[in-house]
Amino acid sequence: MDGWALWGVFVGGGLGSVVRFAVARWAQTYLVAHFPIATLAVNVAGCLLLGCLSAWLSQQPDRVQAAYWQAWLGVGFCGGLTTFSTFAAELYALRAAAWLPWQYLLASLVLGVGAFAMGTLLTKGGLSGW
């Protein structure tokens, strides 16, 4: 990996992290929820973006250029935007709330995988890419 790809991961990851932080602060200020909606939202949005990016990159003839986009947007921005560690900590914190941890786990998996698939389908132009 060269310096431009590393720089892309650094810059993209920083931007994604700032967006995640802003969404979390916004949710804390304007939403009263006993559910970690901000983490769910950024993780689902990241899955959608990564699905779009993956489908788009698979259609690019220039593999070197595609690798740079993957570093900047896939590993960098989407990696900074989404967060498995916060998801795990919030899931653990919900453990005393009967069914809520299971709802969060199921919603995260179904919506995340669904968003990735939807991003792939939207980018490839519909159900023909499925």
Residues 116-129: pLDDT tens digits? Answer: 999 999 998 865 54
d(CA 42, CA 81) in angstroms, rounded, equals 6
pTM for the complete prediction? 0.89
All structural domains of the chain with their residue ranges? 11-129
Residue 68's pLDDT band (boundaries 50, 70, 90)?
very high
pLDDT at 128: 56
Q: Which candidate, 108, 63, 107, places its Cα nearest to that of 71? A: 63
How buried is residue 61: exposed, middle or buried, by Cβ count under 10 Å (0-12/13-18/19+)?
exposed
Closest CA to 25 of 37, 11, 14: 37
Euclidean distance between CA atoms 22 and 57, whole angstroms? 28
Q: What is the pLDDT of residues 28-55, one digit of tens each?
A: 899 877 889 999 999 999 999 999 999 9
Model pLDDT for residues 85-107, shown as the tens digit of each residue: 999 999 999 988 889 999 999 99
Degrees to nearest 5, angle at CA 81 with 12 and 9: 25
